Amino acid sequence: MYKTIFNKRESFKFSRFGNKGYSLFSCLGREVLIGTLSVATLTYAKADGISTRVEKVDSTMQTTGETVMLDEVDVTASRAPLTGGHAARIVNVLGRDEIAAAPVQSVNDLLKYAAGVDVRQRGPIGAQTDISIRGGTSEHIAVLLNGINICDPQTGHNALDLPVDISEIERIEVLEGPAGRAYGTSSLVGVINIVTKLGAKSSADVHAEGGSFGYLAAGGRVNLKQDKWNNQLSAGYTRSDGWLRSKSGRLNADYEGARAFYQGRYDDDHLTIGWHAGVSDKGWGSNTFYSLLSDEQYEHTTKYFTAVQAETKGGKFHFRPSIYWNRFQDRYEFYRGAPDKSPFNYNRTDVFGFNLNSWFDWILGRTAFGAEFRNEDLVSGNLGEPLDNPIHIHGTDRNYAYGLNRSNLSFYLEHNVILKRFTLSAGFTAVKNTWNEMPFKIYPGVDVSYRIGQNWKVFASYNISLRMPSFTELYYSVDGHKADKYLKPEEMSAVEGGVRYVSEGITGTLSVYHHHGTNMIDWIMDTSLGEDAVWTSVNHAEINSTGFEASLKFRFASLLPRQDVLRTLNVSYSYIDQSQNKEPGVQSLYALEYLRHKLVAGLGLHIVSALNLNVNYRYQYRVGSYTDPQGVSVTYKPYSLVDARLSWDKSHYSVYVEANNLFDATYVDYGNVPQPGLWVMAGVRWNVW
């Protein structure tokens, strides 16, 4: 925990510890607590799930003797930095303690426990997973690493190929609903931001684990901190034999991957500079992941991530520039190791971006303004327009013969009014993309909240966002697919309202929303065409989604302080209903399939001494159907899963055993791709110094 300590005769001082800090600013004669550390367009602040009591002060900096309860501080859904307690829109945060206690091996697995997030898994342990929010698809969300957009414009299938181990993550922030005003054109229905941690002091740790299906993983981290400088390097390796065999009898859901990540920070009284560089390299047997025409599919991806970010301190104007370059390489084999049967698909995408976020305080509130430029360049073996000068594909006798380049330019303006109990955040982003000669278009948004007493807050919002088609949606026309390069951008407008309650022992949220999507993109198949049917990318006219989410979190250390067995209990539920024009005999690959019901629950127990048990439950009911190998249409069946983690946790080491799908349930997230049954693994983590 982090505290700001003060008395009535001293002025407030800014303090910073690692990724977090507090400061105070005066707005219309009232003082409010504000998290101030930010990266790119995000504000990082305390997100440990513990409410904070501070003494309320008046405009003369004198204490009033009244205590004010603020809810947990998390990243805000605005351009200007605001705490979770004063933000007008809710951001769900999976904190460090929740991450460490979860029986998971990847960020993909961890997001299964967020009620509004749909995790459609083809391969476990991070092999291949589609992540979506509130009935959208994997193309509809913006994925950020420390505030930097790492979305691959070629495809959203591999959006969470991360260079970091789950043990390096400080927290994961999930913003649900359109967020174009704050996070740009990728955030059609939401944002997922992965925030890594830097050690508060020089340290090192290692970990290793193994289990079912030939699973092995190992990694380590070293952090060196001296004065104003902090540098950290980590690396890891993971492999598995897999759980599926092809018709030939060969295991073909295997996985092997390695990653490395370097991050650093310089911090003085006037400036903070942060940087990172990482690589993720992995390959996995894809069995029937993408098509029934082959059960010998394989995919290999290599991703590089670099970014430099800064923040000024002091003065009236605050500036937060960032610059980044990411490279994504993909090789897809329809027949594994047999290019003579079907040529391999090679793609390479380079994304360069620059962002300047600025804000200042004045008598009417806090105003933010800035601009962002992003260039996306694709060279491919089969996607895009013919290149005048083909580029050789390293290590092969092939060339990148096709490609496409497009740039996105956006400007934004936002104003925030923050009163004692009322917050209003309103603004717009103006977007222009060079693809398809798109003109500048404005996408507005407004969020409002009102705090009732010390514990309650009501909130409402209206936001509009857009998404450019991926390169795959525009040009993938092989292996039973036919793309349309004239697809229009998708657009989404949404209204949302709800109520939130926060106390020391209980946090609860209830929200209701309605999304209206136009020109929504999907791959569909007209089954009435029989053997001539192919998957075609199209713009659906409209899709309307209405839903609600409810969550409760109990912290028994506050509710029942005389006992120490019960620690936490979390229960969340999400419901969605979609309506769209659907012709008879038309099968959807993505947009017309969604989770109607999702229920998640988690219980944390302290058994004895250092022994802890965490149990997670998940129920899902999916709307939609798929065609089995016999050509029969099959509707998705609901399923329930239980995961558990038993650990012995000491200050310098932890020994644990985990079980996923504890009761060996049979289920699928995608048709014709059965998921593994009971998966048991054990491991150890040791803090070397």
* DSSP class per residue in 357-387: EEEEEETTEEEEEEEEEEEEEEEESSSSEEE
Instruction: Please state, in angstroms and as integers, the Cα–Cα distance from residue 343 to each residue in 334, 397, 401, following that order.
Output: 8, 12, 13
Asked if residue 60 has pLDDT above 50, the reply is no
List the beta bridge partners of residue 145: 148, 194
pLDDT of residue 671: 87
Q: What separation, in Å, do the N-terminal and C-terminal C-alpha atoms of the chain show?
A: 22
C-alpha span between 522 and 473 (Å, rounded): 8
pLDDT of residue 86: 75
Across the range 66-93, mean pLDDT stands at 64
| All residues at 6 or more sequence positions from 455 whose CB lies less than 8 Å from its CB, including other chains | 69, 501, 502, 503
Q: Which residue did the predictor score with more confidence, 575 or 94?
A: 575
Across the range 426-455, mean pLDDT stands at 92
pLDDT of residue 435: 85
The domain locations on the chain are: 202-687
List pLDDT tens digits, range 156-176. Answer: 888 889 999 998 999 999 999
pLDDT of residue 89: 87
| All residues at 6 or more sequence positions from 146 whose CB lies less than 8 Å from its CB, including other chains | 39, 40, 193, 194, 195, 196, 263, 274, 276, 307, 309
Encoded amino acid at 671, one letter: G
List pLDDT tens digits, range 251-281. Answer: 899 999 999 999 999 999 999 999 999 999 9
pLDDT of residue 526: 82
pLDDT of residue 75: 52
b/e map 438-457, b = 16+ CB within 10 Å: beeeebebbbbbebeeebeb
pLDDT of residue 15: 33
Residue-by-residue DSSP string for 458-499: EEEEEEEEEEPPPHHHHH---TTEE--TTPPPEEEEEEEEEE
C-alpha span between 485 and 454 (Å, rounded): 54
The most distant pair of C-alpha atoms in the chain lies apart, rounded to whole Å, by 82
List pLDDT tens digits, range 529-550. Answer: 777 788 899 987 789 999 999 9
Asked if residue 574 has pLDDT above 60, the reply is yes
pLDDT of residue 437: 79
pTM of the model: 0.87
Nearest by Cα to 604 from 595, 592, 594, 616: 616
pLDDT of residue 45: 33
Q: How confident is the model at residue 183 (pLDDT cuts 50, 70, 90)?
A: confident
Across the range 393-412, mean pLDDT stands at 95
CATH number belonging to domain 202-687: 2.40.170.20
pLDDT of residue 524: 86
Nearest by Cα to 549 from 506, 583, 599: 599
Instruction: Please state, in angstroms and as integers, the Cα–Cα distance from residue 24 to each residue in 3, 149, 166, 313, following that order.
Output: 13, 29, 33, 13
C-alpha span between 662 and 648 (Å, rounded): 20
Tell me how crowded residue 679 is: count the other CB atoms within 10 A of its CB: 23
pLDDT of residue 10: 34
pLDDT of residue 542: 86
Encoded amino acid at 349, one letter: T
Region of 541 please: left (phi>0), alpha (psi -120 to 50) or beta: alpha
Query: Tokens 């394989």 — which residue?
Result: 298
Per residue, what are the HEC states of 540-598? EEEEEEEEEEEEEEEEHHHHCCCCCCEEEEEEEEEEEEEEECCCCCEEECCCCCEEEEE
pLDDT of residue 76: 61
E strands, 11-140, where? 15-17, 20-27, 30-35, 37-39, 42-44, 52-57, 63-70, 92-94, 117-123, 128-133
How does strand 141-145 pair with strand 190-196?
A: parallel
Mean pLDDT of the chain: 86
Nearest by Cα to 190 from 223, 141, 232: 141
pLDDT of residue 582: 64
Asked if residue 39 has pLDDT above 70, the reply is no
* Under 8 Å between Cβ of 471 and 378: yes
Alpha-carbon torsion angle 207, 210, 216, 222, nearest 10: 0
Q: How confident is the model at residue 68 (pLDDT cuts 50, 70, 90)?
A: very low
88-97, 411-420, 643-652: which range is least confident on average?
88-97
Region of 159 please: left (phi>0), alpha (psi -120 to 50) or beta: alpha
List pLDDT tens digits, range 203-223. Answer: 999 999 999 999 999 999 999
Q: How confident is the model at residue 590 (pLDDT cuts 50, 70, 90)?
A: low
The token pair that represents 380 in the structure block: 């491919």
The 3-state DSSP class for residue 190 equals strand
49-53, 294-298, 303-307: which range is least confident on average?
49-53
Helix (H) or strand (E) holding 446: strand 441-452
- Dihedral of alpha carbons 680, 254, 348, 220, sign: positive
Asked if residue 49 has pLDDT above 90, the reply is no
The 3-state DSSP class for residue 184 equals coil
Across the range 336-350, mean pLDDT stands at 94
Query: Tokens 């290692």 — which residue?
Result: 206
Share of the chain above pLDDT 90, in %: 67
* Under 8 Å between Cβ of 414 and 387: no
Across the range 45-72, mean pLDDT stands at 33
Asked if residue 554 has pLDDT above 50, the reply is yes
Across the range 228-257, mean pLDDT stands at 93
Asked if residue 69 has pLDDT above 60, the reply is no
C-alpha span between 419 and 28 (Å, rounded): 7
